[in-house]
Amino acid sequence: MAAFNSNFVSFFITLSVILHGAESIKYEPNWESIDSRPLPVWYDQGKIGIFLHWGVFSVPSYSSEWFWYHWQGPQPFPSVVNFMKNNYKPDFTYADFAKDFSVQEGIFKPDYWADIFNASGARYIVQVTKHHEGFTSWPSKYSFNWNAMDVGPKRDLVGEVSKAIRKYPNLRYGIYHSLFEWFNPLYLQDRNNSFKTQDFVFDKTLPELYELVNTYKPDVVWSDGCNGPDEYWNSTHFLAWLYNESPVKDTVVTNDRWGNGALCHHGGFLTCHDHYNPGTLQKRKFENAMKLDGRSWGYRRNTALIDVISIESLLQNIAETISCNGNILINVGPTKDGVIAPIYEERLRQMGSWLGINGEAVYKSRPWAFQNDTVTSGIWYTQRKDLKAVYAFLFNWPSGDLTLGAPQVTSETTVTLLGYSVPFKFTSQGQKGIVVHVPEISYNKMPCMWMWVLKITNTAN
Ligand SMILES: *[C@@H]1O[C@H](CO)[C@@H](O)[C@H](O)[C@H]1NC(C)=O
Ligand SMILES: *[C@@H]1O[C@H](CO)[C@@H](O)[C@H](O)[C@H]1NC(C)=O
Ligand SMILES: *[C@@H]1O[C@H](CO)[C@@H](O)[C@H](O)[C@H]1NC(C)=O
Ligand SMILES: *[C@@H]1O[C@H](CO)[C@@H](O)[C@H](O)[C@H]1NC(C)=O
C-alpha cells in the first residue's frame, strides 16, 4: 500500500512538472540564460519562410533597399546619385518618396499575397516593418510623421498583412525590425557618445519593439541593424521580457542580430550573415536568408531575368540548407503599389508544387549522419526517424545507375522516388553504399520537373 501511495504521489509530481514546468522557467537578462531557451518546435519543423522587403525604398525601386544611404550616406554610389540628379529636382528629399508609396485599393490585395504564400508551401512570413530608413509600416506612436498611417499609404500595412496571413492555418506571421536607423539624430548622438548614452534605444527602438509585439503578436522577431554593442541595445532585457512575459512567449522565435557581439553567437537561431549557407552540419539551428532577385532585397524596376534565381537553384538552396540544420528565408520585394511581380509569384508557386510532391522529405526532417553524398556530387540528405527514412535530394536526373556512397542498406530497405509508385531496384555495396538502378521514366510520368527525391527506408546508418 505504501509503495502504491508513493508511486501515486510521484505520478502527480511528474504530471505537474509536465503541465507547469514550462511556466516556471524564468529567463534572465544574460546571454547564457537567453541562449538556453529551446526553439519552439514549429520553427524547425516548418523549414521554409518568406521574407518581405516593402517600404519607402520600394518607391524609387532602383539599386536596392539601401537607396537612401547610397544616395546621401558617407560613401554615395555614383549610380544612385546620378539617378537622382537625372530624374528629380535638386530640392527633392528622400522623405518626398513617401507620398508615392501609393498602395491603392484594388491593386494591393493582401489576401492574394497570403494565397501565394500558402501555395508556396512556406510556413512563416517575415515582413519588414521598419528598415534602416526608419519608416514604420505600422502606425507607431514612436515614429511621428514617418509611418504608413501619417504619410504614403495612410493605412496599417503590418495590420493588414498579418491579418491576411493568419487566415491560413499553415502560416505564421513574423516581423523584421531594424534596431538602428542610418540618419536618426538620436542614434547618431548616442554613437558619437561611444554608445554611453541610450536615448535612441529608450525613446525609439525598445518602445517600437514592445509596441510591435504587443499589437501584432508576431511568432518571429527578426532583428537587424545591430550596429552597436548588445548592452547598448539592452537586448537581453528585451529578450527576457519576450520569453517570460510577452503575449508570444511560448511561440516566438528570434534570431541573433541583437548587437555586435551577439551576431552569430547569441539569441535564437543564427543568421551570421546574409545568404548564410555553411554547407556543413551546424550544431545550432541557423537560417539562410536569401533572395529571389539576386541583387536586391527591395523591388527593383530594372531587374533583368538573369538576376532572378531559377527554380532549380532555389530548390538546391533549400536542400543544402536543411541538410545542414538550417531553415531558409526566401525574400521577395513587392512593388510600391503592393504587387508581387509575376516572376516571383511563379517561383513561389513552383516551389509549392514541388513541395506538394516532396514535402515529406522537408517538413519535420532532421539532418542525417551525412549531409551530402561521399561519391556522387549534387546529392544532399535529410532523414525522418518517424518514417525510418533517409531522403536523397538529386540535383540532376540520374540516367541509368546511380551510386550513393553514404547509405548502407539492410534486408528491409526499399528505394522509391517520391511521387512515383514503382520502387527502384538497387544493389548493395556493403559499407560502400548502394547502386540504384534508375529506370527510364517518360517525361509525362515524372513526378516533378526539378530536383528529385529518393526515399531510402530502413538503412543501417
Ligand atoms: C493552402 O495550401 C495547402 C497546400 O498546398 C492547400 O492544401 C490548401 O488548400 C491551401 N489553403 C487554402 C485556404 O487555399
Ligand atoms: C557627431 O560627431 C561629429 C563629429 O565627430 C559631428 O560632426 C556631428 O554633428 C555629431 N552628430 C551628432 C548627432 O551629435
Ligand atoms: C536596460 O538595461 C539596464 C541594465 O543594463 C536595466 O537596468 C534596465 O532596466 C534596462 N531597461 C530596459 C527598458 O530594458
Ligand atoms: C560534400 O561532402 C564531401 C565529403 O564527403 C566534402 O568534401 C564536400 O566539400 C561536401 N560539399 C559539397 C558542396 O560537395
pLDDT digits (tens, 9 = 90+) for 66-98: 999 999 999 999 999 999 999 999 999 999 999
Same domain for 251 and 386? no
b/e string for 193-224 if b means 16 or more Cβ within 10 A? eebeebebbeebbbebbebbbebbbbbbbbbb
Please state the domain count of the chain.
Answer: 2
pLDDT in tens, 131-161: 999 999 999 999 999 999 999 999 999 999 9
Do residues 438 and 398 touch, judged by C-beta distance below 8 A?
yes
For residue 185, the ligand closest to its alpha carbon is 2
Task: Please tell me whether residues 333 and 419 are part of one structural domain.
Answer: no
Please tell me the residue having the least CA distance from ligand 3 atom 9: 237
Pocket of ligand 4 (CB under 6 A): 279, 372, 374, 377
Domain shared by 61 and 158, yes or no: yes
Residues 313 and 436 in one domain: no
Specify whether 341 is located in the same domain as 403: no
Ligand 4 mean position, distance from CA 317 (Å): 15
Distance 350 CA to ligand 1 centre (A): 14
Query: Same domain for 407 and 327?
Result: no
pLDDT tens digits, one per residue of 34-72 = 999 999 999 999 999 999 999 999 999 999 999 999 999
Q: Is residue 398 domain-resident?
A: yes
pLDDT level of residue 13 (50, 70, 90 thresholds) = very low
Please state, in angstroms and rounded to a whole number, the distance separating the CA atoms of residues 398 and 418. 15
Distance CA 361, CA 373 (A): 16
Q: How confident is the model at residue 15 (pLDDT cuts 50, 70, 90)?
A: very low
Dump pLDDT digits (tens) for 190-201.
999 999 999 999
Q: Give the pocket of ligand 3 (CB within 6 Å).
A: 206, 234, 237
99 and 73 in a common domain:
yes
In a domain? residue 207:
yes
Q: Please report, for the domain that includes residue 439, its CATH number.
A: 2.60.40.1180
Same domain, 278 and 398: no
pLDDT at 289 over 70: yes
Which residue from 186, 192, 197 has its CB within 8 A of the most atoms of ligand 2, so it is best to mutate?
192
- Kindly report the backbone phi and psi dihedral angles of residue 287, in degrees, each rounded to the nearest multiple of 5, phi listed first: -130, 130
Q: Does pLDDT of 22 surpass 90?
A: no
Band of pLDDT at residue 5, cut at 50, 70 and 90: very low
> Cell numbers of 291, please?
533572395
User: φ, ψ for residue 181 (rounded to 5)?
Assistant: -130, 130
- Flag whether the pTM goes above 0.75: yes
Residue type, 356: G
Q: Same domain for 332 and 433?
A: no
Residue 399: the pLDDT is: 86
Q: Alpha-carbon distance 230 to 454, whole Å? A: 45
- All three cell numbers of 189, joined, read 548622438
Per the domain annotation, does 24 fall within a domain? no
Is 264 inside any structural domain?
A: yes
Same domain for 226 and 309, yes or no, is yes
Judge if 109 and 199 occupy the same domain: yes
Of ligand 3's listed atoms, the one at least distance from the Cα of 231 is: 5
Mean pLDDT of 353-366: 98
For ligand 1, atom 14: residue with the closest CA: 115
CATH number at residue 82: 3.20.20.80
Measured CA to CA in angstroms, residue 168 lies from 54, 162, 175, 250 at distances of: 21, 11, 17, 20
Q: Which ligand is nearest to the CA of 355?
A: 1
What's the CA-to-centroid distance between 285 and ligand 1, angstroms?
Answer: 28
Range of the structural domain that residue 255 is part of:
30-361
List, chain by chain if needed, residues with CB within 6 Å of any ligand 2 atom.
185, 188-189, 192
Cα of 217 vs centre of ligand 1, distance in Å, is 23
Residues 220, 312, single domain; the answer is: yes
